[in-house]
Amino acid sequence: MCETCGCNITPGNVSLAQQPVSAGQTTVEVLENLLHANDHAAGHNREHFERHGVLAVNLMSSPGSGKTALLEATIEALGERLRVAVIEGDLETENDAQRIRAKGVPAIQITTGTACHLDAHLVHDALHHLPLADLDVVFIENVGNLVCPASFDLGHHLSVTLLSVTEGDDKPAKYPVMFRGSDVVVVTKTDVAPYFEDFDTARVEAHVRALACEAPVLEASVRSPGGIDAWLDWLKTMRTRFAQGERFSGAIERNPPAHTHPHGHHHHHGHEHESR
């Protein structure tokens, strides 16, 4: 986790990490200060989104699960019904941002260097390059990683975790922090499911429920007709509820107690089940 491996230092917060360390101050205290500063920036980001009526959605997954492909298909399917923009996070290159721009929507690329996640400071800098007043939804495509992104609040409202059929159905059990904090889990690349007979979406959902997480588990295929309908329905429902004044915190609860869903104090998961 970022609390121990040092990857919590990103281009967005490096100035905070380089401040002089007081006598007797420990590394743990420095990291706690970085996380506190991140959470403060995240709150500022969330206020910024809400001031402009923009729903912020954080997409997380391991590399190659199909985040960018899902965004491309979502943009095509939505047309002009929802005005979207994308913040792309990768260690290097602008490849994904270029793919999104080719669909005719704004995309800001964040290159993190060695950091394996985005943080609120990086997202804050990107927001100054987006026309928020003209948008309905901002997708934040996080760096491909099932560990560290789960610990950083970006100021988003909803957390989406993708899991591809090719990865295996046991990932929620192996990476509980990521999946426990999800507002929806999207099983991608279901068009290849016939070639992976040992994958079972029902087992994915069982693992998610074992984490005391009530997030809906949806199947998606960008290559199949109607393959992302369930995802689009969920997204449009959440956008409608947001536009009607409902707010989703997207806050990160670090080291949540066993079998406790960190978003458990919110009431919206049960409604999401109804919209599946």
Q: Check which CATH number belongs to the domain holding 145 and give it.
A: 3.40.50.300
* Domain-embedded: residue 11: no
Chain-centroid distance of CA 159 in Å reads 4
Least confident of 55-59, 93-97, 140-144, 257-261: 257-261
Tally of domains in the chain: 1
* Domain-embedded: residue 111: yes
* Domain-embedded: residue 197: yes
pLDDT tens-digit profile of 195-216? 999 999 999 999 999 999 999 9
* Domain-embedded: residue 18: no
What is the DSSP pairing of strand 55-60 with strand 84-90?
Answer: unpaired
Q: What is the pLDDT of residue 20?
A: 57
Q: What is the pLDDT of residue 274?
A: 33
Q: Residue 272: is its pLDDT beyond 70?
A: no
Which among 134, 114, 118 has a CA at the least distance from the CA of 126?
118
Structural domain harbouring 261: 23-274
* Domain-embedded: residue 9: no
26's CB contacts (< 8 A; 6+ apart) are: none
Distance CA 51, CA 213 (A): 30
Mean pLDDT score across all residues of the chain = 86
* Domain-embedded: residue 76: yes
This prediction's pTM: 0.82
Dihedral over alpha carbons 159, 149, 40, 253 (to 10 degrees): 70
Query: At 113, is the pLDDT very low, low, confident or very high (cuts 50, 70, 90)?
Result: confident
Q: Residue 1: is its pLDDT beyond 50?
A: no
